[in-house]
Chain A
Amino acid sequence: MSRKFLVGIYNDDEKAVSAVRELKKNHMDVYDVISPFAVHGMDDALGLAESRLHITGFIYGATGTAIAYSLMTWVFTSDWPLNFGGKPHYSFPAFIPIMFEFTVLCASIGMTVTFLLRSGLFPGRIRETLDDRFTDDKFGVVFHLHKNLSQQEIDKIKQMLQSTGAEEIKEKELAKHY
């Protein structure tokens, strides 16, 4: 299903942040903000909940630690208890380096895969862009023009975008939800 978007294009990130604050104050439903870099303060202005990615990172890491510890313990104490130079079968200090490495490995792979999946990114994914300049030096404040919006409301959004310093306002229809 095609969707129509209204985009206000700003030439500076601080202008975009204050515009979003202003729009939100007037109870306008900002759909998204597209920017060439991570804009400081934008999450707050948009009211985005904090990402839980680091929590997943902790869970993946802890899983890695547990797997590494239990595998080494099981292998050396019960599955194949070999005698290495008379050292104890359960030699915890010698397990620490591999436990650390495996923790880091699991946390980083897990977090990256979660990040890619949650953001719908994968090799070959093709998304239609609203404007090619958003990966260069422009910042887009995006509104979703759904059917229920009256022309009056749309005009009000346009007017608000203009008054908050948008350089350019354009409408674009994307074939798919982005």
Chain B
Amino acid sequence: MAINRSAEAMTIFAVICAGLFPVFHMGRVWLIFFNLPYPNTRGPVWPNFNSPLMWDVFAISTYFTVSLLFWYTGLIPDLASVRDRAKKKFTKFCYQIASFGWIGSAKHWQRHEALSLVLAGISTPLVLSVHTIVSFDFATSVVPGWHTTIFPPYFVAGAIFSGFAMVLSLMLIARKVLNLQQYITLEHIESMNKIIVVTGSIVGCAYLTELFTAWYSGSIYEGYAFANRALGPYWWSYWGMMTCNVISPQLFWVRPLRRNVWFTFFMSVVINIGMWFERFVIIVTSIHRDYLPSAWSYYSPTYVEISIFLGTIGLFLTAFLLFSKVAPVIAMAETKHILKISGDAQKAAAAAHHSHEPAAASFQVHQS
């Protein structure tokens, strides 16, 4: 509950940024609607529903839409709460529009709960599906280094890994700036670091499995692609990825480090860099030397590519800052469940019973 609202917001902003890249890649941005299967006057010519690229169109747009709906319906009661606290007339007016006339009636809450439960339930498999389908874009190709069946679980673990790191990077700053230490506790941070160790190790396992399979398959192309990754001209990106994603998160096995805010922040940035290296390794090293040696070259980004990349970071941060300026970054209504008066009484009783209870309780809170 401490981080869910802002993590959902980051999901939405990140999907917007991520979606820009395939759009630019298609070349003619203004014809982007050709992707949609609508009856048209060109035949009608339909998109190829058998193509993973087409699946991706559906996966990303569905992921974006469902995340947006889940985020906003959860936000409505909190926006209503801000509306009723607003002092300036204009502010109140804006929140009146944004909160859809929410008053907190019992029947509305009942429906809200039912909706949240189902949306949460269906967005969980959606997370798996969206990363699986993105990995299909690579896995169903014939490019050495991409054509591997391990990609779907590898991408899902990588997404959780980098997602948690991103949330930590931003929320540790937000926690300090907005004084949220009481809501985002050290227990939350420690739990997140545990997830980072687990998913980081899964990702590390996937890297090693890839290497093993490249050798064990006996495919010379696959073997070359991986030898080239580790020892070729892009060796620095491969070892950067290995250091940042596999080796450094293992430091989180040490409890004092898991509970150190500054170290966690530093590591979250390292992991983000590592995950960027991972994408670079997968894409660049596999295609800079493909089946046609005459096409081999050394890729370095142009100023346009660098600007687009920096632009998306700017877009993401602007969106997140706007969000944290105008909307509650903590899911208030959900948090009130556990911070109510009777909750205090229960906590006191539990503390008297078991001295370690508060820590366990806050872990459950984070899980839900």
Asked if chains A and B come from one complex, the reply is yes
B261 within 8 A of A: no
Please tell me if the beta carbons of B333 and A38 are within 8 angstroms of each other in the complex.
Answer: yes
Q: Is B37 an interface residue (CB 8 A)?
A: yes
Q: Which residues of A contact B80 (CB under 8 A)?
A: 135
What is the number of residues of chain B that contact chain A, defined by CB distance less than 8 Å? 63
Contact yes or no, A121 B100, CB < 8 A: yes
* Contacts A80-B45, A84-B48, A97-B59; A36 near B336 (Cβ below 8 A): yes
Whether B103 contacts A112 by the Cβ 8 Å rule is no
Inter-subunit contact A42/B106 (CB<8 Å): yes
- The smallest C-beta distance from B237 to any residue of chain A, in angstroms, reads 31
Interface size on A, residues (CB 8 A): 66
Contact with B along A109-123 (1 / 0, CB 8 A): 101100110111111
Please name all residues of chain A whose beta carbon is closer than 8 Å to the beta carbon of B44 when the two chains form the complex. 79-80
Partner of B341, one of A12, A35, A57: A12
Q: How far is the CA of A136 from the CA of B335 in the complex (A)?
A: 12
Q: Does A151 contact B (CB under 8 A)?
A: no
Which B residues lie within 8 Å of A75 (CB)?
A: 37, 46, 49
Q: Please provide the chain A residues from 95 to 153 with a CB less than 8 Å away from any CB of chain B in the complex.
A: 95, 97-98, 100-102, 104-105, 107-109, 111-112, 115-116, 118-127, 129-130, 132-137
Q: How far is the CB of A149 from chain B (nearest CB, A)?
A: 21
The interface residues of chain A lying within 8 Å CB-to-CB of B119 are 108, 111-112
Q: With A112-B73, A135-B84 known to touch, is A107 a contact of B118 (CB < 8 Å)? A: yes
Q: What chain B residues lie within 8 Å of A53 (beta carbons)?
A: 111, 114-115, 118
Cα distance, A102 to B76, chains bound together (Å): 25
Contact call B101/A121, Cβ cutoff below 8 A: yes
**Docked complex Cα distance between A135 and B84 (Å):** 7
Partner of B100, one of A37, A43, A79, A122: A122
Which among B80, B103, B118 has the greatest number of chain A C-beta atoms within 10 A?
B103
Contact B126 A104 (CB under 8 A): yes
B307 on the A face (CB < 8 A): no
Q: CB within 8 Å of A: which of B73-106? A: 73, 76-77, 80-81, 83-85, 96-98, 100-106
**Chain B: which residue is nearest A107 at the CB level?**
B122
Supposing A104-B126, A111-B115 touch, asked if A98 and B77 sit within 8 A by C-beta, the answer is no
Q: Which residues of B contact A25 (CB under 8 A)?
A: none
Min C-beta distance of B118 to chain A, whole Å: 5
Residues of chain A contacted by B255 (CB below 8 angstroms): none
Instruction: Give chain A residues whose Cβ lies under 8 Å from the Cβ of B58.
Output: 97-98, 101-102, 105
Q: Does B65 contact A (CB under 8 A)?
A: yes
Q: Which of A42, A57, A76 has the most CB of B within 10 A?
A: A57
Quick one: closest B residue to A82, CB to CB? B48
Tell me the complex Cα distance, A132–B123, Å: 33
- The reply to whether A104 and B62 contact each other, CB–CB distance below 8 Å, is yes
Bound CA–CA A87/B76 (angstroms) = 48
**Bound-complex Cα distance A163 to B70 (A):** 40
Cross-chain contact B66 with A108 (CB below 8 angstroms): yes
Asked if A104 and B66 sit within 8 Å, CB to CB, the answer is yes
List B contacts of A23 (CB < 8 A). Answer: none
Within 8 Å CB of A94, what residues of B? 49-50
B110-145 CB contacts (< 8 Å) to partner A: 110-115, 117-119, 122-123, 125-126, 129, 133, 136
Q: Is the CB of B106 within 8 A of A33?
A: yes
Is A34 among interface residues, defined by CB-CB distance under 8 A? yes
- Is B108's beta carbon under 8 Å from chain A? yes
Residue from A36, A84, A105, A112 within 8 A of B62 (CB atoms)? A105
**Which chain A residues in 26-65 approach chain B with CB under 8 Å?**
32-40, 42-43, 46, 48, 51, 53-54, 57
Closest to B101 in A: A125
Residues of B within 8 A of A51 (CB): 110-111, 113-114
Chain B residues, CB < 8 A from A14: 342
Q: In the assembled complex, how far is the CB of residue A108 from the closest CB belonging to chain B, in whole angstroms? A: 5
Q: Is A38's CB under 8 angstroms from B126's CB? A: no
Is A91 in the interface zone, CB < 8 Å from B?
Answer: yes
> Would you give the shortest CB distance from A141 to chain B, in whole angstroms?
10
Q: Is the CB of A84 within 8 A of B104?
A: no
Cβ of A160 under 8 Å from chain B: no
Question: Which 7 residue pairs across A and B have the least CB separation, nearest first?
Answer: A125-B101, A121-B100, A132-B84, A135-B81, A101-B58, A38-B109, A94-B50
Known contacts A51-B114, A129-B84; 10 additional CB pairs below 8 A are A37-B77, A38-B113, A46-B106, A51-B113, A87-B50, A101-B59, A105-B58, A129-B103, A134-B103, A135-B83
Between A and B, 22 residue pairs with Cβ closer than 8 Å are A37-B334, A75-B49, A76-B49, A79-B46, A87-B50, A94-B49, A94-B50, A101-B62, A101-B126, A102-B58, A102-B62, A105-B66, A108-B65, A108-B70, A112-B115, A112-B119, A118-B111, A119-B111, A123-B100, A127-B102, A130-B103, A135-B77
Which residues does A use to contact B, with CB under 8 Å? 11-14, 32-40, 42-43, 46, 48, 51, 53-54, 57, 71-72, 75-76, 79-80, 82, 84, 87, 91, 94-95, 97-98, 100-102, 104-105, 107-109, 111-112, 115-116, 118-127, 129-130, 132-137, 178
